[in-house]
């Protein structure tokens, strides 16, 4: 209870919207997942009567982790629309962040303007509006707003070449993806699923796939160690890799 009061600044009512989602996002991008005795209304979490556990998820920066993946998600040095798929804790957010850094700084890609939409703060680990992680020289960060809202904000006012965001899958995200495509802006996003086939069993992603809103569908796994690129599918679902490969950061972790 003391930890809960500390992370809410003794004002849990100020975090009601996040608490209703079952977590709190701290200022440096750390996510605190909550467990305890819940109070619900209309089948949805309203708040907690008491907190019995807090799980801290600490974002990590791995500069250069996306380097070996870039040839599979770019065309002549320019990013293509890319969705990164994996189960939790396999590195998809870390990779998405590094792709933004590479594009925004022109490292391995043509330099371009990037808008990073960080609804839960994890992508940029913003503190007082400034990213603590290196997300690229030409990268603007919009944090603390719902993804689809942030996407429309970026399109209206930031003139991005690329938009990067995390964990899409809500119905309102589909219209945002279509607007990005219609605007000629490249989209890089992530999604939770163990594999490509499981992802397409969900209506949202089946609609995204049928609309061909992504040119590259990157599937992560731990088959060779953490941060394994298991497969890359093209817009029509065809596999492009003959065999999985381990990203450089994964090799370093495996050597420890």
Determine which helix (DSSP H) or strand (DSSP E) holds 33, and give its type and residue range.
strand 31-41
Cα–Cα distance for residue pair 48/22, rounded to 1 Å: 9
Do 53 and 80 lie in one domain? The reply is no
73-85 tens-digit pLDDT: 999 999 999 999 9
Residue 249: pLDDT band (50, 70, 90) is low
**pLDDT value at position 28?**
67
* Count of H-run helices and E-run strands, the chain: 8, 15
Average pLDDT over residues 55-80: 92
Q: What b/e string do you get for 36-50 counting C-beta neighbours within 10 Å, with b at 16 or more?
A: eeeeeeeeeeebbee
Do 229 and 146 lie in one domain? The reply is yes
Count the Cβ atoms, other than its own, within 10 Å of residue 203: 10
Do 45 and 111 lie in one domain? The reply is no
**pLDDT value at position 27?**
66
Strand-pairing partners, residue 115, are 140, 163
Do 100 and 6 lie in one domain? The reply is no
Query: Is residue 101, in this structure, part of any structural domain at all?
Result: yes
**What is the count of structural domains for the chain?**
2
Residue with tokens 């490969």: 245
Do 8 and 84 lie in one domain? The reply is no
Domain region containing 134: 70-255
Q: How many residues does the chain have?
A: 256
Phi, psi (deg, nearest 5) at residue 61:
-100, 130
Query: Is residue 65, in this structure, part of any structural domain at all?
Result: no
2-51 tens-digit pLDDT: 888 888 887 877 778 778 878 887 766 788 889 888 888 887 888 888 88
**pLDDT value at position 6?**
85
- DSSP-derived secondary structure letter, 13: G
Inter-residue contact 91 to 116 (CB < 8 Å): no
Do 132 and 52 lie in one domain? The reply is no
Mean pLDDT across the chain, nearest whole number? 90
Whether pTM > 0.95 for this model: the answer is no
- Angle at which helix 203-210 crosses helix 171-182, to 10 degrees, equals 10
Do 149 and 227 lie in one domain? The reply is yes
Phi, psi (deg, nearest 5) at residue 29:
90, 0
Do 23 and 115 lie in one domain? The reply is no
Query: Is residue 64, in this structure, part of any structural domain at all?
Result: no
26 vs 66 pLDDT, higher one: 66
């Amino acid at each position: 209870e003391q930890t809960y009061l500390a992370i809410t600044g003794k004002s849990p009512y100020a975090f009601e919207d996040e608490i209703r989602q079952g977590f709190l996002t701290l200022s440096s991008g750390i996510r605190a997942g909550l467990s305890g005795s819940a109070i619900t209304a209309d089948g949805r979490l309203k708040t907690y009567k008491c907190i019995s556990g807090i799980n801290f998820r600490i974002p990590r920066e791995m500069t250069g982790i996306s380097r070996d993946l870039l040839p599979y998600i770019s065309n002549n040095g320019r990013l293509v629309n890319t969705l990164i798929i994996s189960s939790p804790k396999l590195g998809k957010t870390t990779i998405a962040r590094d792709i933004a850094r590479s594009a925004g700084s022109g490292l391995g890609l043509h330099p371009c303007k990037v808008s990073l939409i960080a609804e839960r703060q994890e992508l940029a680990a913003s503190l007082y509006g400034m990213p603590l992680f290196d997300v690229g020289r030409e990268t603007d960060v919009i944090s603390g707003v719902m993804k689809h809202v942030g996407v429309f904000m970026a399109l209206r006012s930031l003139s991005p070449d690329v938009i990067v965001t995390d964990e899409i899958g809500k119905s309102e995200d589909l219209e945002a993806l279509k607007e990005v495509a219609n605007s000629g802006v490249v989209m890089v996003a992530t999604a939770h699923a163990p594999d490509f086939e499981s992802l397409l069993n969900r209506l949202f992603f089946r609609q995204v796939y049928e609309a061909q809103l992504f040119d590259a569908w990157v599937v992560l796994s731990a088959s060779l160690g953490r941060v394994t690129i298991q497969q890359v599918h093209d817009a029509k679902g065809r596999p492009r890799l003959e065999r999985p490969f381990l990203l450089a950061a994964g090799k370093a972790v495996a050597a420890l």
